[in-house]
Amino acid sequence: MPFDGVKVLVTNNSHFDSSRTGTGDVAVVECQDDCSCLWDGYVRKWKGTYCHLYGWKRVLAQAYGLKMCYLSFRAGSDWLGLLPAAVLPRFPGGQKKAVSLAFCNYGGLLCSPEAEKESLKARALQHLAQKGIRQVEFRDISTEPAATEEVTMVLSLPDSPELLWKQIGSKVRNQIQKARQSGLTIRWGTDQGDILYTIYAKNMGRLGTPVHSFRFVRETLDAFPDHVDVLTVQHAGKAIGGMLLFREPDRWSNPLASCLSEFNSLNPNMLLYWEALRAASQAGAQSFDFGRSRKKSGTYNFKKQWGTKEVPLDYHCCRNTVRDAKTATAFYRSPKAALLADIWRKLPFPLQVHLGPMVRRWMP
C-alpha cells in the first residue's frame, strides 16, 4: 500500500506501545500522555474538531472511569491519522463497544489527505478487535448528504460584530433587543461551572434526559484551560441561562447550552447566543458551530433562524468490521426512549441529579 507524498509532522518518536496490524509498514500506536502535544498538533494541522483534542481522554477517564484508546497511525515518524475512542461499559452478554467519540458530537478517523482513509479505518478496527472490541461507532462529519437525519448547524461569521448584527436579520434582532429591554445581562468566566451545571441539569430533567455528572463539566473546564469559557445570562443578579464554549482560532463551538424554561418569555437564549456569536466574530473566528440537531426538530429550527447552514453527519457502527447503520442516536429517537423520558421527567430533581450520571455512563 503506497503512502508516497505523506507530509511529515513528527520528527522524533515519543515512548509508546505499538502493534502492527495487517500488512505494510503502518503502525497502529496507542498514544499516552507524552504524545498529547503531537496529537493536538496533528488535529490543528488537519482541521480536526474540538472533539478530536487529546484532553477528552482525561475527561472521560476521570468523569466516568472509561478506558480510552487513542490510536495514531504512523509510517516511521510520519503521522498518517488518528482515532480517539472510548470503550463503554459492557452489558451482560453484550459485546464490547467503542465510540469515537462518546458524549461528543464528533470524532471519527482524522487523517491527512494523502492517507488512504478506508485502509486506516480497517487497521483501527482490526487493532480494536484484537483487544476484544468488535463494535465501533464512528461520528463523522460528512462531505456528502447522508441518509441520517442528524446534522450539525454552522454559521459563517463576517469580519465584525457590526456586520454580524446586520446579517442575522430583523426578527432575530428584535428578540435580542427584547431580552436587553427586560434587563438581562451577561457574564463570562469559568468560575461559573457550578452555576452552568445547575441550569443544565434542571433543563435536562425537564426534557427527560439523564444528566451528566458535575465532574464531567468540571473535568472539561480543567482539561481545556486555553480553549473553554462559560457564558451566563443574568436576570436581577441570578443566572437563568448558561453556555459552555470551545474557542478555536477559526471556529467557536457550544457543546452545552441551557436556559431555565420559566424565563423563556424574556428571550434569554437569544441574548446568550448573540453574545457568544458577537464575541466569536470579534475574536476573528470564521464560523460558529451550534451543534447537532435532528432535521426539522425544535432545536434545528432555533438554530436555523440565525442563518446557519446544515452540515450532514455520518454516524455509523461497524460490527466485526462490517458497517451497520444502527447507532446510539437511533435509540435516542426511538419510541422506547420517548417512554423512558416521560418516566424520567417525573422523578424529583435531586433524584435525577443523583441517578443521572450512573445512567449516562451507559449512554454515549
Distance of CA 225 to the CA centre of its chain: 17
Q: Which of 247, 246, 272, 248 shows the shortest CA–CA distance to 258?
A: 272
Q: What is the mean pLDDT of residues 43-48?
A: 95
Across 206-227, average pLDDT: 95
Domain 150-312+337-345: give its CATH code. Answer: 3.40.630.30
What end-to-end distance do the CA atoms of the chain give, in Å? 35
- Four-point Cα dihedral 79, 108, 128, 219, nearest 10: 90
Query: Which pLDDT score, from 0 to 100, does residue 147 have?
Result: 62
pLDDT-derived band at 10 (thresholds 50, 70, 90) equals very low
Q: Is the pLDDT of residue 13 over 50?
A: no
3-state secondary structure of 319: strand
The average pLDDT across 304-315 equals: 94
How much of the chain is helix, strand and coil, in % rounded to 5? 40, 30, 30
Mean local confidence (pLDDT), 209-227? 96
Residue 268 has pLDDT above 70, yes or no: yes
Cβ atoms of residues 246 and 228 within 8 Å: yes
**Residue 9, preceding bond cis, omega within 30 degrees?**
no
Per the CB < 8 A criterion, the answer to whether 242 and 196 are in contact is yes
Domain boundaries, the chain: 17-141, 150-312+337-345
**Is it the case that residue 244 has pLDDT exceeding 90?**
yes
Render pLDDT for 138-177 as a digit per residue (tens, 0 to 9). Answer: 999 987 776 678 899 999 999 999 999 999 999 999 999 9
Per residue in 247-263, pLDDT (tens digit) is: 999 999 999 999 999 99
Integer CA distances (angstroms), 253 to 26, 111, 292, in order: 33, 22, 11
Common-topology check for domains 17-141 and 150-312+337-345: yes
* Dihedral angle of Cα 361, 60, 18, 36, to the nearest 10 degrees: 170
pLDDT of residue 329: 66
Distance (Å, whole) CA 294 – CA 290? 12
CATH of 17-141, one of 3.40.50.150, 3.40.1000.10, 3.40.630.30, 1.10.10.10: 3.40.630.30
Neighbours of 231 (CB within 10 A): 23
**Span 210-226, mean pLDDT?**
96
Window from 49-58, 138-147, 346-355 with minimum mean pLDDT: 138-147
Mean pLDDT of 12-17: 36
How far is residue 287's CA from residue 252's CA, in Å, rounded to a whole number?
A: 7
Q: pLDDT of 80-116, one tens digit each?
A: 999 999 999 887 767 789 999 999 999 999 999 989 9
> For the purposes of burial, counting CB atoms within 10 Å of the CB of 48, is it exposed (0-12), middle (13-18) or buried (19 or more)?
buried
SS3 27: strand
Q: What is the mean pLDDT of residues 132-136?
A: 92
Instruction: Reply yes or no on whether the pLDDT at 358 is more than 70.
Output: yes
Alpha-carbon distance of 279 to 331, in angstroms, equals: 36
Percentage of the chain exceeding pLDDT 70? 90
- Locate cell 465510540: which residue? 99
